[in-house]
Structure 1
Amino acid sequence: MWRALGHGIIVVMIALALALPWYVKNYHDFRSGAQNALYVDSKLEGDPTRFWPSLIWYLAALKDVLISRWLLPFFLGGWAAFFLWSRNWLALSFSLAWFFPSLLIFILIPNKDARFILPLLPSLALLSSAGLNSIPWKRTKLAVVIALIIIASYQFSAISFGWPKFIEHPYTHRAVREDWQVDKILAGLKTAFPEKELRLAVLANQPYFNPNLFHFYGAVQAPSFKIDSVGDRPLNFTQLTAYHFLILKTGDIALEHTARHRRAFLSKFWPWLEGENKGPSFILWGKWPLPDGSEALVYQIEK
């Protein structure tokens, strides 16, 4: 026991020796980023901060991270089998020690995100697997395992390849061969302003038309461009004066869970274009047709 404890202390000391210098050197940046991630975002998104509302929030968020419900009966059945036949209390203690302290940390952190609970689910799945493996009847266990493999394979194929049926989910998007014009938009701007280091604000946040894609193509085609995502937080016209161009699209502007502030801005933006206002002006520089029937719109911003 003491030898294992000594080994654990050595591992912790090595980890501190490797990681601590970075945190000491970058303490102010780390502290500023942590404050934004843990507190500022929480206020902007209206996340619950008290214990019970936070716990209920994560329980409700399960529907956003569970890709399908086909495997749920196996999960619950495995848990029942674990307590009926396995009763490995050491394994149970290990899983609970993994699950509850982490869950408590996520509850206490003011900023909430459904993805936070994903690393916790394997701790519960391990017990379920042990339970299925403890089924005393060989034929029954074999049938359950075969059914589990078939359903899991079907789900993997549906998510990854859209066959035999595509599963739609906020975190899984079908791989398609479509031209979403991102490279052409950047190429057009690069051609029109060859010597200028443009600053682009991307409001759209759709699966195939979003800031990440502009970053990807920009790194190859226009590395001098500064490309930012806007609309994750409340956005006003004054903030956009820091950019040369605003990129958005007609139709759906973003996935539902990221659309709130973007829609609020657009509700003011369209009337702004038609009126005479004191402040920045937006001149339509170019538009491109998109595969979903909408249009990509690029507005030049003049202060």
Structure 2
Amino acid sequence: MTMERDPIQFFPSLLWYAEALRFPLMSPNLFNLFFVGLSLFLIIGRKWRELLIFACWIVPAFFILIVTPNKDGRYLMPILPALSLLTVAGIDTVRIKIIRNALYFLVIAVGYIQFNNLSFNIFPDLIKEKGPYYYNHVPLQQDWKNKEVLSFLSERFPNTNLLIGILADHKYFSPAQLQLNIYLFRLPYSIEAVGDSPVSFEDIKRYDIFITKYPQISAEWVAVHREKFYKELSKKGIETLGFSKLTEYVLPDDSTLILYQKSDAKEKRRF
């Protein structure tokens, strides 16, 4: 497996993408309708030239993705139009008009209801899962301290250029979210993510502010380098690099966010 625990062998990768296609990329509802359309196309239609065209669209993409080490369900999105056309082509082979129209209506109705489930959480529920795969869960009202962190820094270091390193990439507290708030508040700070690749203990010396979050430091599949570096940091002590603790915040996931200041941060040039 890769660092993100994706399968590498051919057949496990094939099964991985098949499951990603069924859930969550299409949902079991639409995947079953695709299977019905495909079966009708093969049994009744038997239009082998058209099937070859679809195969040229779908099979190479599947093969390339299977042999690529990094796996992600969204990589399959370019083949979704082919699957949609194949579904409709299969339904179109049904000779009895009322059955054919009923299948068309079912596909449209399921797609429409599912769209509303995922986008607006509107009933009736075809998508019942409220987990990470689908974003139809109830919106959260939580304070992840993004604004508080920047407000604290702007008061402590007014009009000061700061280079900030962040050893966290959580979905609610990440370098990208902090960078967005920096842009909105027009603050003279630069943000860098730490831990996307192996980190040397000496690498963080160049930061004016260093931010850690632990536990739940990041998503499991990208936490390898961050977890390793955090343990090394805890063992050796960030104070040995000239940092001192500024403040800390308790976040909604019960993790602790800690801000450290480099000893010479106050001496930086102000504009």
TM score, norm. by length of structure 2: 0.77
Match of residue 266 from structure 1: 230
- Name the structure where helix makes up a greater proportion of residues: 1
Q: Which amino acid aligns with 2:184?
A: V
Query: In the alignment, is the contact (CA less than 8 A) between 1:215 and 1:227 conserved in 2?
Result: yes
Alpha-carbon displacement from aligned partner over 1:77-119 (angstroms, at most 9, x marks no partner) = 1110111223344432332222233344445656554432322
| Alpha-carbon distance change, 119 to 281 in structure 1, aligned in 2, over 3 angstroms | farther
Cα offset for 1:218?
Answer: 1.5
Match of residue 83 from structure 1: 42
Alpha-carbon displacement from aligned partner over 1:151-197 (angstroms, at most 9, x marks no partner) = 33443333323445453235747543433221221222122212322
Q: Which amino acid aligns with 1:97?
A: C
Match of residue 151 from structure 1: 110
Query: In the alignment, is the contact (CA less than 8 A) between 2:4 and 2:222 conserved in 1?
Result: no
| Alpha-carbon distance change, 46 to 73 in structure 1, aligned in 2, over 3 angstroms | closer
Alpha-carbon displacement from aligned partner over 1:276-297 (angstroms, at most 9, x marks no partner) = x895254322222323333332
Identity across matched positions, percent: 28
| Alpha-carbon distance change, 239 to 196 in structure 1, aligned in 2, over 3 angstroms | same
Match of residue 94 from structure 2: 135
Alpha-carbon displacement from aligned partner over 1:196-235 (angstroms, at most 9, x marks no partner) = 2211122222222122211211112245311122222222
For these two proteins, the number of residue pairs brought into alignment is: 256
Query: In the alignment, is the contact (CA less than 8 A) between 1:62 and 1:114 conserved in 2?
Result: no
Matched, 1:218 2:174: no
| Alpha-carbon distance change, 109 to 145 in structure 1, aligned in 2, over 3 angstroms | same
Separation in 1 of the partners of 2:152 and 2:225?
28
Instruction: Output aligned runs, 1:181-220, within 5 Å.
Output: 181-220=145-184
Instruction: Output aligned runs, 1:52-131, within 5 Å.
Output: 53=9, 56-57=12-13, 59-64=15-20, 66-67=23-24, 68-106=27-65, 112-131=71-90
User: What is the RMSD computed on CA atoms of the aligned residues?
Assistant: 3.3
Gaps of 5+ in 2: 265-271
Separation in 2 of the partners of 1:155 and 1:188?
43
Gaps of 5+ in 1: 1-41
Query: In the alignment, is the contact (CA less than 8 A) between 2:121 and 2:136 conserved in 1?
Result: no
Match of residue 289 from structure 1: 250
Q: Which has the higher contact order (CA 8 A, sep 6+)?
A: 2
TM score, norm. by length of structure 1: 0.70
Match of 2:29, SS? coil
Alpha-carbon displacement from aligned partner over 1:48-102 (angstroms, at most 9, x marks no partner) = 78xxx25642541444463132322112111101112233444323322222333
Match of 1:77, SS? helix
Query: In the alignment, is the contact (CA less than 8 A) between 1:82 and 1:127 conserved in 2?
Result: yes
Match of residue 178 from structure 1: 142
Match of residue 242 from structure 1: 206
